[in-house]
Chain A
Amino acid sequence: MHVALFLSFLIFGSTGGEIAITRGMKATGEPERLRPKEMLQFLGRALCNGWFWAGVPLMALSFYALLVLLSWEPISFVIPASALSYVVGTFGAKYILGEEVSTARWAGVVLVCAGVALVALG
């Protein structure tokens, strides 16, 4: 029961956090160049974005859930189970962020999800 609860914290925390951060980064705009000065300015703009800060606690929740799960269960269980976040994240990208998820992209996501589960099972 505890494992299922923390697994849901891990999956929905990471997906929700990443979607909020994606929205924040899209609003921030890309850095002009990948050089230290421009990257610092970019980071400064990102840190002023509310969506970024909405994502941080969700990511922190998922990070804590990952640490607790890794202390309870083998990594060969935790990583395959958390691979579900690829599918949950793609639904979020489509319905919350409004991204166009083509059939090829869906197929790729499902293959990656299955592949991650198989690799982690060993």
Chain B
Amino acid sequence: MATEGRLRVKTLVMVCAMVVCANAGDLMLKRAMLQIGAVQLSEPGIAHAFRMTVSSGTLWVGIFFLCGFMLSYMTVLSWADYSYVMPAGAFGYALLTFFAVVFLHEAVSPRRWVGVVLICVGVLLVGQTKPRTTPVAREALA
């Protein structure tokens, strides 16, 4: 029982790290691609987009956050189910909406609030299931 509780707590901590890093990374990527402009599907267009993305500081900040996301994601997947972690990570969408209202005083449409409620209920439903349903390798050095 204590092991189950510990598993839930450490899964929750890692999912929170995933959510923060993924949202920060996505926002930075979107900002970078807005600065770069639409990618043209031609050889010079792709080469130009590649040069622009490699030299974009905003994009590298986004990639840094996405590396943080990847590390926390890999870690949590080493003990928890993929079908548990994946929907739980969507809680970030709901969190972003709360932040937009509380800190940025943005107006949020009723449709968006319905979406937030659906995500929260969905994450709660998934959260009530067992985080791990498959056998997992213990620490490989053990």
* A complexed with B: yes
User: A residues touching B (Cβ–Cβ < 8 Å)?
Assistant: 2, 18-19, 21-22, 25-32, 34, 39, 41-43, 45-46, 66-68, 70-72, 75, 86, 89-90, 92-94, 97-102, 104-105, 107-122
Tell whether, in the assembled complex, residue A119 and residue B94 are in contact, meaning their CB atoms are under 8 Å apart.
yes
Q: Chain B's nearest CB lies how many Å from the CB of A38?
A: 9
B82 in the interface, Cβ–Cβ < 8 Å?
Answer: yes
Tell whether, in the assembled complex, residue B77 and residue A71 are in contact, meaning their CB atoms are under 8 Å apart.
no
Nearest opposing residue in chain B for A52, CB measure: B74
* Interface residues as binary, B97-139 with A (CB distance below 8 Å gives 1, 0 otherwise): 1000000000001011011111111111111111001101111
Query: Chain A interface mostly helix, strand, loop or mixed?
Result: helix
B residues contacting the other copy or chain, number (CB 8 A): 57
Query: Chain B interface mostly helix, strand, loop or mixed?
Result: helix
* Number of interchain pairs (Cβ within 8 Å): 180
Q: Chain B's nearest CB lies how many Å from the CB of A8?
A: 16
Q: Which of B97, B112, B123, B141 contacts A112 (CB 8 A)?
A: B123
